Structure 1
Amino acid sequence: MNHSLTRAFSMRTILVLVYAFLYIPIAVLVALSFNEGGLPTAWSGFSLKWYVSLAGNSAILSAALNTLIVALVSTAIATLLGTLLAIGVEMRRQYGKGLEALIFAPMIIPDIVLAIALLSFFSMLNLTMGLHTIILAHVVFNLAFVCSVVRARLKSFDWSIVEASTDLGASAIATFRRITLPVIAPAVIAGALLAFTLSVDEFIIAFFTAGAGRASTTLPMQIYAMIRFGITPEINALATIVMAVSVTALTLSQRLNRGMIGQ
């Protein structure tokens, strides 16, 4: 009994230390974003002035708009293509390990490798770099994640209802709209939220495929440019906002996934 209690206590201690290591720096960052004095070593009072300062920074607002455009457009395209890919693969049900590896390769390949490959591909096509190339790159990156989430839902999907709908004379589009889509809708939304979160946070691929100029600078790129001259309270406030958006979207995605598992 004592041995079991000791082991449980030690495991709990390790878990607490790991969580502390992960989240104390984030908590400090969030706290400093509300520090009136802006000094990283002394608390001088609560203030929202750094968030107000962000609202008046044109460079940050422009980068935030670019990030929103990239995230929304790439999420929409990746969700559509990823959902169709998941349905096609599951309906066929006869695929080898090679196809499986090909579909999920962007999830496994390091970001730096994928970024260099996309940069080389765009250069080979003589494409002018900009927001459009970042969007295309994020679609490639996010498509596998959407497909993975939707396929998890399709594993428990009863395909006999699709066959019954076809036997009753419904077209393929009507069957998809009235039967398949309502069943997999939570997975599609969860995949979209995950893709949006990844797109908002992504830096390396965007950095390699953005090209020159501020017109295609995203928020992570703007943060990187700012921290090269030192970390300021504005950066802390900006990082807190980005983290809040990401955590919210990821939490919603996880809840939808939990709901699918419980069905």
Structure 2
Amino acid sequence: MSDLLAVDKTAENHYRAPVVVEESFPLYGGQIAAQALLAAGLTVSGCQLPRSLHAVYLLPGDTKEPVDFEVERDRDGLSFSARRVVARQHGRTFFTMSASFHEPSAGQDTQLGEQPAPTPPQDCEPFEMGRFPLLEWRRPAQTQPWGRGAPTRLWARAKDPLPEGPLLDACALTYLSDVSTGISGVSGGGKYAGITLDHTVWFHRQVRFDSWILLDMIPKTVAQGRGWYTGGLYTTEGALAATLAQETLFPPAGRQW
């Protein structure tokens, strides 16, 4: 999986992601976000780790072409740094990201709010997700209706161990965070329903993605041709590793974009 997320430095603040897998689908949004975060993180002090990201998807990405990333260093501080990343293919910008990095400090570590209590992964039936052969999947009981057939709660982990490194671990969580959709139980959307418009992740705790991670998505609203949901990424012990929010396209049937 580290090969899937890899980027190569081509110049100062410039990186390129090579073609890994050619598909008929557009480039997976979680992959481009993970690679953009990796490119940004490679320009930051090694003591600072991803705190948050906000990604905006402007155009579909092409799996048959490499992706060029340009990183803008908006701020370099003692504890915090900020980066902006622009991703281009065919000379066009198709994705942007703002990312913040923070040097973790010792202090209170308290889990607040309700924690999900899904069936443990070892007691769930395995299943396959065709676009993601490098991951293992388990499907616990679903808490949301399945109007469009996509799970809103699932366990996942990398099949092969990842190299040690908190930056790569955060990128792997980012890769997972865009899987499926939190509004799968809502019917009535056209064929473009579910296309990601923007995606935000906040990182709370460092975790390894070769251990089981629960992705739990909660639908919030569908209005004006857009759907919005939130979610969390949890360890098997119930620790909240990251929080996400995503807005997707949800136009009525027959509407062209």
Query: As a proportion of its length, which structure holds more helix?
Result: 1
Return the structure number with greater relative CO, CA threshold 8 A, min gap 6: 1
TM-score range, shorter chain: under 0.3
Query: As a proportion of its length, which structure holds more strand?
Result: 2
**Greater C-alpha radius of gyration:** 1
Normalised by the size of structure 1, how large is the TM-score?
0.24
Normalised by the size of structure 2, how large is the TM-score?
0.25
